[in-house]
Amino acid sequence: MLILECPYCGVHAEETELHAGGEAHLKRFGPGSSDDDFENYLFMRENPKGVHFERWRHVNGCGKWFHAARCTMTLEVFGTYSAQTTEPPKDICDKISAKRPGWSWRNFS
């Protein structure tokens, strides 16, 4: 059962305080977008064995959404960070690089 530190309230919340929200850093495609873009946005998801970026909500807590970078294999958590960003921050990427050299996820590495 996971523990993630909520970057908004600082609580090391266990999974029962959290709500999983799927893949992080999706770019929304609205009216006017192509069928492919919309399909990718709405349905296509990464299913990595290793480094992954996810959305979580501290639902039984401060109620804030945040992002988590973790390893789906070992469940190691590389860091949690603000939900209000379109890509993983550099310090998180650096941490991952230190532990998982050569990692890549979507177009991030």
Stretch that binds other proteins, among 25-33, 46-54, 101-109 (CB under 8 A): 25-33
Of residues 67, 60, 65, the one with CA closest to residue 23: 67
Region of residue 96 (left: phi > 0; alpha: psi -120 to 50; beta: else): alpha
Which of 11, 40, 48, 103 touches other proteins by CB under 8 A? 11
Q: Which residues pair with 12 in a beta bridge?
A: 5
Do 58 and 64 meet the contact criterion of CB atoms below 8 Å apart? Answer: yes
Stretch that binds other proteins, among 45-53, 68-76, 101-109 (CB under 8 A): 68-76
Residue with token string 């949690």: 80
Site for other proteins contains 63 (CB under 8 A): yes
**β pairing state of 65-71 and 51-57:** antiparallel
Site for other proteins contains 72 (CB under 8 A): no
Stretch that binds other proteins, among 15-23, 44-52, 101-109 (CB under 8 A): 15-23
Residues that bind other proteins (CB under 8 A): 1-3, 8-11, 14, 16-17, 21, 28-33, 35, 38, 42, 55, 57, 59-65, 71, 74-77, 83-84, 99
